[in-house]
Structure 1
Amino acid sequence: MSDSTGRVIVIGDVMTDVIVIPEGPLVRGSDRRAQITQRPGGSGANQAVWLGSMGTPVSFVARVGARDKPHLEAYLRGFHVDPVLIADPVKPSGILVVIVDAGGERSFLTDRGANLDLSHSDMPVWLLEETRYVLVSGYSLFAEKPRHAARWMAGEAQSRSIPVAVDAASVGFVEEVGADKFLQWTKGFSTLFANADEAVALAGSADLETQMRVLGPNYGRVVIKLGAGGAAVGDVSGVKLKLPAPAVKVVDTTGAGDAFAAAFVSAELRGVDVETCLRRGIEAGSAAVTKVGGQPD
């Protein structure tokens, strides 16, 4: 399944997603029928599984509850992911409740569990010798211990001239910690992936051209995912390319941005031009929203 593109290391959360699709608006203090499913998730895990399913060699680094490690390792290997899971003897694995509204938009309730204790000693620095790309989920930056671990690993990668990309991951957490801190933590990374809301929070503007010019000095490249509006790539000089998205029936937007990032990185490692990378990212994200859950079947 894999090829000679070189390994990607993904650093991020592994979660159990409990996905709730109510039949209508929630009724406070009473019942509402709903479709409820439980699936493996977490932004970092999603990206790793999408990469593996696309034939890109990938290792995924995360911390999980000790009792969950064996079945999560088996699950990830089923998608051609090399799991580097650290068993936490105390904290359980993370759980995310996803409430999906009638338009397919999501709201999240997050208990990150063992992910909050990811540490410097958990980082597989030895894998960097065979690695061509490191992808950091923004969730790893919003708590002190995983932030120090991810930034240390990013520094080790950069010292070996390995590109490091970051996905902003959560507009709520970006706003909570502050855009200035997020930009400071990720300064010098090769690529920023952000959705439209995250880009507004980080750049302080809703104008796409302004976002590129504001965020460009911090990164070599900025990729902004615009949902139904497609996506754009640019740098400090502004927007370089913007492509539309196909019209699709939206079922659940969970993991669409993760699929986009995985497809973009996978294409880039195969040596194609940036337009093809952007197009493949849009195609993957658009396909992801037509199904429930954040990972491929």
Structure 2
Amino acid sequence: MTSSPDILCIGSVLWDIIGRAETPMRQGSDMPGRITRLPGGVALNIGMAMARFGLTPALLSAVGRDAEGDDLIRACQMRGLVTEYIYRSDDLPTDRYMAVEGSNGLIAAIADAHSLEAAGDKILRPLSDGSLPAPYTGAVALDGNLTLDLLGQMARSPLLAAADLRVAPASPGKAQRLAPFMQARRGTLYVNLEEAGYLCQTTFETSDAAAAGLLQRGAVRAVVTDGGNPATVAYDKTIVTQTPPPVMVTRVTGAGDTFMAAHISAEIRGAAPDAALRQALQAAAAYVSGETKI
């Protein structure tokens, strides 16, 4: 029997193909390094981190019924994730993400989540066919790899009207896909400083200014990060800002997802706003330093 999930992770479940060099890189660099293939995607990264924190996440996504998809499902199950609700497509390939990182951070990345986008609302069938309780009342993590139309539906869906929605854009280029949640005044938005600027159509110098700007634009609750600079949680009249612990950065892909998962996990367990933010920053620092195994 499947364990009752502590959270639904809805969005991209794919293979991360990451090339890393130990030296600084720029456009056009050709450097020696390591190339790895790991389970990834925002929803899956959040789910894997949740599992490391002792919770039981269930995935709602699209994965091809191909060899790469079979490998990915097995990898998810080995990491303690519930996969039975994933839509398996016969004609769509398993999605992939490719990134190049140097010692100076992310150089370039391409996210191929076309199969997830093509699957559309088929990934939500477990919420409408009785496989999962509806309206769902637990925590739900969503990512911006879903289409704008589908995210708009979810922001107003009666199936999720009682859920604790936590939403991340997946990348700065997809930040504006979070606008339906601001318009519907639903959920907690997890964004970095650049993404907050896109959503507010301006630029911000600090995370607390960005969080305040998001609330003014309609967000109910905002969590804004800025790399190694202070991060902020804001809602109602509460603003909590903390500085991440300083660490040597060895990887960056998945750091934001780890932060989000740690923050949600802490709040599910009843942590106060300052304690939840502190735990999330510590978890993200451990991840980027390479201390956390994946």
What range is the shorter-chain TM-score in? 0.7 to 0.9
What amino acid maps onto 1:80 in structure 2? G
Q: Say which SS state the counterpart of residue 286 (structure 2) adopts.
A: helix
State how 1:61-72 maps to structure 2 within 5 Å: 61-67=60-66, 68-72=68-72
Q: Structure 2: where are the runs of 5+ without partners?
A: none
CA distance in 2, matches of 1:169, 1:132: 22
Is the Cα contact below 8 Å between 2:208 and 2:239 reproduced in 1? no
Q: Structure 1: where are the runs of 5+ without partners?
A: none
Is 2:142 the counterpart of 1:133?
no
Q: Say which SS state the counterpart of residue 157 (structure 2) adopts.
A: helix
CA distance in 1, matches of 2:33, 2:27: 12
Displacement after TM superposition at 1:39 (Å): 1.2
Displacement after TM superposition at 1:190 (Å): 2.1
What amino acid maps onto 1:77 in structure 2? Q
Displacement after TM superposition at 1:34 (Å): 2.6
Q: Which residue of the partner structure matches residue 199 of structure 1?
A: 196
Deviations along 1:127-185, one digit per CA (max 9) or x if unpaired, are 24575111111221xx35xx4277338623443x22111012211233xxxx4x63135
CA distance in 1, matches of 2:152, 2:44: 15
Deviations along 1:210-246, one digit per CA (max 9) or x if unpaired, are 4223311523211011221142111365x61111111
Number of matched pairs: 281
Deviations along 1:82-118, one digit per CA (max 9) or x if unpaired, are 1122112122111111110222334211222421223
Q: Which residue of the partner structure matches residue 226 of structure 1?
A: 226
CA distance in 2, matches of 1:135, 1:286: 21
TM-score if structure 1 supplies the norm length? 0.84
CA distance in 2, matches of 1:154, 1:286: 35
What amino acid maps onto 2:65 in structure 1? A
**Larger RCO of the pair (alpha carbons < 8 Å, separation 6+):** 1
Displacement after TM superposition at 1:291 (Å): 2.6
**Alpha-carbon distance change, 151 to 106 in structure 1, aligned in 2, over 3 angstroms:** farther
What amino acid maps onto 1:61 in structure 2? L
Deviations along 1:30-89, one digit per CA (max 9) or x if unpaired, are 953232111111111100111112111211111011113433222112222111221121
Q: Which residue of the partner structure matches residue 174 of structure 2?
A: 173
Is the Cα contact below 8 Å between 1:166 and 1:189 reproduced in 2? no
**Alpha-carbon distance change, 150 to 85 in structure 1, aligned in 2, over 3 angstroms:** farther
What amino acid maps onto 1:205 in structure 2? T
- Say which of 180, 183, 189 aligns to 1:184: 180
Identity of aligned residues (%): 22
Q: Say which SS state the counterpart of residue 91 (structure 1) adopts.
A: coil
What amino acid maps onto 2:178 in structure 1? F
Is the Cα contact below 8 Å between 2:155 and 2:181 reproduced in 1? no
Q: Which residue of the partner structure matches residue 8 of structure 1?
A: 7
Is 2:261 the counterpart of 1:259?
no
**Alpha-carbon distance change, 157 to 215 in structure 1, aligned in 2, over 3 angstroms:** farther
CA distance in 2, matches of 1:233, 1:190: 13
What amino acid maps onto 1:263 in structure 2? A
15-24 or 93-102: bigger deviation: 15-24
CA distance in 1, matches of 2:121, 2:239: 37
What amino acid maps onto 1:184 in structure 2? P
CA distance in 2, matches of 1:86, 1:191: 26
Is 2:154 the counterpart of 1:152?
yes
CA distance in 2, matches of 1:117, 1:216: 32
Is the Cα contact below 8 Å between 2:165 and 2:186 reproduced in 1? yes
RMSD: 2.7
Q: Which residue of the partner structure matches residue 81 of structure 1?
A: 81
Q: Say which SS state the counterpart of residue 72 (structure 2) adopts.
A: helix
CA distance in 1, matches of 2:104, 2:30: 21
Is the Cα contact below 8 Å between 1:95 and 1:112 reproduced in 2? yes
Q: Which residue of the partner structure matches residue 40 of structure 1?
A: 39
CA distance in 1, matches of 2:96, 2:209: 36
Is the Cα contact below 8 Å between 1:16 and 1:38 reproduced in 2? yes
**Alpha-carbon distance change, 75 to 168 in structure 1, aligned in 2, over 3 angstroms:** same
What amino acid maps onto 2:63 in structure 1? V
Q: Say which SS state the counterpart of residue 166 (structure 2) adopts.
A: strand
